[in-house]
Amino acid sequence: MKLTVDGKPHEVDVPQEMPLLWVLRDVLGITAVKYGCGVAQCGACTVHIDGVAVRSCQVAAADVDGPVTTIAGLGKTGAMHAVQAAWVTHQVAQCGYCQSGQIMQAAALLSETPDPTDADIAEAMRGNLCRCGTYPRIKAAIKTAARRLNAKPSPVPAPGTDR
């Protein structure tokens, strides 16, 4: 079966019902996508299919109907995605295990809702668990990422002006 993952085409020989998470980790070696619960209860395995956040432990390989993006392919070549950069700014991670899923969920939220309210953040992120309790930093980082993404580029100073 054919899959596009992080912009690269792959042909994989796996059972149709194999969860996408297994394909990503065990077949393609993308171990940055994490296995937490396997039953849609933790969000650690979150990736995007066609830009939408999904639990990869719950999607059969044969049902993948669009390009897959993992945390490994979220940023552009050589640059972090704004959400990843905000995670660094706020030093969000503790043990880090849940964080690739948190970041993928947050990135999907901001692509749909560029200026989320506290309630939007709570609703979008409520299925992503963090046993280290980094929730306040996650919320702060999402707000920082939103602010940066929404900031208009500063005008280029006219030659001869000193700003």
- Which residues are at the interface with ligand FES (CB under 6 A)? 35-38, 40-45, 55, 57, 93-99, 130-132, 134
- By C-beta, is 135 or 149 nearer to ligand FES? 135
CB-count exposure of residue 23 (10 Å: 0-12, 13-18, 19+)? buried
> Three-class SS of residue 99?
helix
SS3 category, 61: helix
For the bound state, the minimum distance from the C-beta of residue 136 to ligand FES, rounded and expressed in Å, comes to: 12
Nearer to ligand FES, 45 or 121 (CB): 45
Least distance from ligand FES to the Cβ atom of residue 107, Å? 17
**Cα-atom radius of gyration of the chain, to the nearest Å?**
17
Q: Which is nearer to ligand FES, 59 or 74 (CB)?
A: 59
Q: How many CB atoms are located within 10 Å of the residue 85 CB?
A: 16
CA 77 to CA 125: how far, in whole Å? 27
* In the complex, minimum distance from the CB of residue 54 to ligand FES, in angstroms, rounded to a whole number: 9
Closer residue to ligand FES, CB minimum distance, 8 or 131: 131
Taking the complex as a whole, the smallest distance from the CB of residue 12 to ligand FES amounts, in Å, to 19
| Under 8 Å between Cβ of 64 and 3 | yes
CA distances from 136 to 41, 46, 82, 101, 109 (A): 20, 20, 18, 16, 17
Least separation in angstroms between residue 163's CB and ligand FES is 41
